[in-house]
Structure 1
Amino acid sequence: REERECRSVEYVDSVEDAVEYLQNTTGTIFISTGSKELKKFTVLKEFSNRVYARVLPSAKVIEECGSYGLSGKHILAMQGPFSKEMNLAQFRHTHAEFLVTKSSGEAGGYTEKIEAAQELGMKIIVIGRKKEDEGFSVQQLVEVLSKKMQLSPKRKVTLLGVGMGHGTLTQEAILALQQADVIIGAKRVVDAVASFGKESYIAYKPQEILDFLQKNPQYNQIVLAFSGDTGFFSGAKKMLLALDTSFEVHVLAGISSLSYFAAKIGISWEDAFITSLHGKKENISLYVHQHEKCFVLLGGGEDVHTICNQLIATGLGNAYITVGEHLSYPEEKIVTGSARELLQEEFSGFGVAMIFAPKQKHLYSMGIPDEKFIRKSVPMTKREVRTISLSYLELQERDIVYDIGAGTGSVSVEAGLCCPKGKVFAIERKEEALDLIRQNIQAFGAWNVEVIQGEAPKVLEELPSPDKVFIGGSGGNLKEILACVLEKNPHALVVLNVIALQTLSEALQAFQELGMVEEEYTQVMISKAEKAGRYHLMKAQNPIYILKGKGGGSVALP
């Protein structure tokens, strides 16, 4: 093949040299160098009859070709790339004897043109000197072998964290961006890496990105750019799930806002509680009551004032907050002050905050001592029974919980502390108990507990569906309460405390009729020592029945 190519290919340095070579020839010429150089060929004798030009299909280009004297049938306005078969068909149709082309390499369809022209015995004029023994790059070898062997190599997709956006790229990230064919991401992120001069596409939704990749198979080195770190509240998580095995996927970490900000203000962050307000609302004051240091990804400028108001309302107005905005950029702003002081500041855009709680009272785990609650004469679920009952509820941090017949709110408070990202509704009908519940909420900082005044099941109708329900008092409406709960959530987990045998009988019957499953029935008898002179005597408390059951998925209303 090398010997044959030497006979049929003439290499020249420039378009002018190609024109000079063709001056002393006869026969049809097929020019595939584009419209920009076409004017130089007009000096050839019989130009308008001898020359066929393959150009881009734009009105301006076609008009330009016509101005040089080419008629419509001598203008092949088409968008490449062209296969060998397409080249053969066009060369035969034009009866071409000469091919003029540039040495554009594999990516420009050069090989297909050369092979087609050689098969027809055409003379080939290549503008650009023959490259001796340069070999192939790895990417060129992949392209050539894939084409010859009809293989489909995987396209490389790199999920990349750009850090804060200004001067915080890692060396790995810089290399990936330099090698990229295209960079895809949200506008702010793509703008941050615009200096690499790569093609880009603005998109951040996984399906939108996948649609773009499917429609643009020419991109083989793809970078999906994300702000901060790919593993820290990043869209990379959903994107990883969306990419299938047809892609070769790599993930590169970036500098997170947390690590950058902590270094900037000179603190460690491994002991910080971490949460985000992007696209959601949280009662940050609850976390501040439970943790000495809280890091918050802010969702907008108003979030700072919202947090300050929450802290003030829950007795933490003196908590100190450090807010950072436009991190790493020239307009970077870092402000520190108490919750009350920062209410006077203006904030804009997205940012972060580190909240430092004032020294807290002792934070109890499950089983708060009875004497720590404000009680007066209102009945209260005692510590030991409360602890067992809460363990049966199997509370998760985001659960929605009903405490029906809340009394002093001891169960509500502990449930609230166990479900920091959830919500507890303390439902109580007695007026004298309502104020005690509120006092206990404030005493323990259980700010995710909401007091609901009224009688169940009527007041339950407007509440969100519960995950877990504790019933300490039913007011004679036990079956109706259970039916209402299961109508709202057929799989709700319910725990009851019962003292009277009549109520126990009623509860067992209701469990059976309403199709409760996974039932557990436990009797708890607690005796506690009391001092009598120099002796300690055990004093028994009333036996308590603890009933646990879960909705079976369907409810027969009473």
Structure 2
Amino acid sequence: MTARIQIVGIGDDGLDGLTGQARQLIDQAAVLVGPSALLDKMPNSEAERVVVGSNLEQLQAAIRELGDSSAVVLASGDPLFYGIARYLTETFGKDRFEVIPHVSSMQLAFARVKESWDDAYLTNLATQPLDRVVDHIRTAELVGLFTTSAITPSVVAEALLDRRIDYFTAYICENLGTPDETVTQGDLQSIRNQTFGSMNVMVLVRRHGAADRPSGSERRRLFGNPDDLFLQSRPKRGLLTPSEVRCIALAELDLTKTSVVWDVGAGSGSLAIEAAAIANEGQVYAIEMDAEDYALMIENAKMFVVPSLVPVHGQAPAAWQELPRPDAIFVGGSGRVVPDLVAEAIQHLAPTGRIVVNVSSPDNLVAVQQVFGQAGLHHDVRMINIARGQYQLDRVRFASLNPTFLVLGWR
């Protein structure tokens, strides 16, 4: 039986930070495999040394050549956290390896800045394109980044500021766990003008209450625009109707150029704005009672040039009493009040009109269906599950959005 290969995590402090078990495995190894920076931290080992860099094919070849040798693969920090262990176990099988992790430098970085990292966006700039990372940062509360020699903290800061993402406090944590450990705090403007050592982790903490910046892309779709084109409020982010759901909802509303539309609970206006682009000779009334979201809707509308959009600051149903009778109604939101709002909205719907209700809970789904039935509407339902691709190393994985329901009603 082929001997198991030990994957041992090494910290910036080298041998001093290793457990007794990890040291023993390294001392007994006939072959050490890893990048030169980690091999150099093992000065007393008499094992054969196989230097591999970031080239995955080179690493594969080195593993295949080990045979039955007693071997240790050296990795930085926790090898299963944005490290090579996942790649190796998926390539050669889990039974081929044992993993002995070290404390991740990411974990140490968040400990130094005293922030919980359970909900943070974490990634490695060695494996992810900077543009994609910046788009994720735009909507994040907390961010942890493994930087590279090419994509340094100053490069990241420059990329964020170029896209008007200026609402983060940055911490650059260098040489973690060593006597030379340093943590530099500053805004992105100051970080962009500084240089740092190669061994660092960049932590970004969003300023309280800062709204997302739109991506700044000059291209606009008629509908289904990316979510990051719209300003969103904090901490209510996630209430914006995702682009995939918007596309289906707008299709089911059956809009024409001259449609009169109500968007009840419009939030920051993503669906109403796209409805206004379709019904560009009609009127789209976007009803929102939250002052912050209403202000963001105004800002979003400026970017899309939709003169048929009519923002309405008020609480339904009182806010719609003076509005023209709608050909189409979209209701979004959560809570027990949704079915009651739907029941009142139906009374105003044009004889050939359609209503689409977006709910996230099964209770509201059933309640809205009952309301449609009592009103004598034909109705149907769509359950929407969306997963968006995320790239890690040479693999694509999928991150699921929360499932949602569209309840469709028509006379």
Provide the TM-score with structure 1 as the length reference. Answer: 0.40
Matched, 1:337 2:201: no
Give the deviation of 1:273 after TM superposition.
0.5
Q: Deviations over 1:259-296 (max 9, x none)?
A: 22233x251434451322223223447536441x3222
Aligned mates of 2:69, 2:42 — CA distance in 1: 19
Matched, 1:540 2:348: yes
1:96-495 alignment runs, 5 A limit: 153-166=1-14, 167-203=16-52, 205=55, 207-217=57-67, 220-244=69-93, 248-263=96-111, 265=112, 267-276=114-123, 277-280=125-128, 281=130, 282-284=132-134, 287=137, 289-291=139-141, 293-300=142-149, 302-309=151-158, 311-312=160-161, 317=166, 319-329=168-178, 331-360=180-209, 362-367=234-239, 390=245, 443=296
Amino acid at match of 1:259: Q
Amino acid at match of 1:168: G
Q: For the structure 1 residues 388 and 319, does the alpha-carbon distance in structure 2 shift closer, same or farther, using more than 3 Å as the test?
A: closer
Higher relative contact order (CA closer than 8 Å, sequence separation 6+): 2
Q: Which residue of 2 aligns with 1:468?
A: none
Give the deviation of 1:303 after TM superposition.
3.9
The alignment of Structure 1 onto Structure 2 pairs a total of residues equal to 277
Aligned mates of 2:135, 2:296 — CA distance in 1: 14
- Aligned to 1:192, the other structure's residue is in SS state coil
Give the deviation of 1:257 after TM superposition.
0.8
Q: For the structure 1 residues 207 and 338, does the alpha-carbon distance in structure 2 shift closer, same or farther, using more than 3 Å as the test?
A: closer
Q: Which residue of 1 aligns with 2:318?
A: none
Q: Deviations over 1:447-486 (max 9, x none)?
A: 9xxx7999xxxxxxxxxxxxxxxxxxxxxxxxxxxxxxxx
- Contact kept in structure 2, 1:279 and 1:299, CA below 8 Å: no
Amino acid at match of 1:326: N
Give the deviation of 1:226 after TM superposition.
0.9
Q: For the structure 1 residues 347 and 389, does the alpha-carbon distance in structure 2 shift closer, same or farther, using more than 3 Å as the test?
A: closer
* Larger Rg computed on CA atoms: 1
Aligned mates of 2:80, 2:275 — CA distance in 1: 38
Gaps of 5+ in 1: 1-152, 369-385, 395-404, 417-424, 455-498, 502-524, 530-537, 551-558
- Aligned to 2:171, the other structure's residue is in SS state strand
Aligned mates of 1:159, 1:318 — CA distance in 2: 39
- Aligned to 2:245, the other structure's residue is in SS state helix
Aligned mates of 2:239, 2:167 — CA distance in 1: 29
Aligned-CA RMSD value: 5.0
Q: Which residue of 2 aligns with 1:472?
A: none
Q: Deviations over 1:477-513 (max 9, x none)?
A: xxxxxxxxxxxxxxxxxxxxxx979xxxxxxxxxxxx
Q: For the structure 1 residues 341 and 180, does the alpha-carbon distance in structure 2 shift closer, same or farther, using more than 3 Å as the test?
A: same
Amino acid at match of 1:540: H
Give the deviation of 1:233 after TM superposition.
0.4
Q: For the structure 1 residues 389 and 215, does the alpha-carbon distance in structure 2 shift closer, same or farther, using more than 3 Å as the test?
A: closer
- Aligned to 1:196, the other structure's residue is in SS state coil
Give the deviation of 1:199 after TM superposition.
1.2
Q: For the structure 1 residues 306 and 220, does the alpha-carbon distance in structure 2 shift closer, same or farther, using more than 3 Å as the test?
A: closer
Q: For the structure 1 residues 339 and 248, does the alpha-carbon distance in structure 2 shift closer, same or farther, using more than 3 Å as the test?
A: closer
- Aligned to 1:275, the other structure's residue is in SS state strand
Provide the TM-score with structure 2 as the length reference. Answer: 0.52
Q: Which residue of 2 aligns with 1:514?
A: none
Give the deviation of 1:343 after TM superposition.
2.2
Deviates more, 1:236-245 or 1:334-343: 236-245
Q: Which residue of 2 aligns with 1:490?
A: none
Aligned mates of 2:163, 2:293 — CA distance in 1: 12
Q: For the structure 1 residues 173 and 312, does the alpha-carbon distance in structure 2 shift closer, same or farther, using more than 3 Å as the test?
A: same
Q: Which has the higher helix share?
A: 1
Aligned mates of 2:383, 2:92 — CA distance in 1: 42
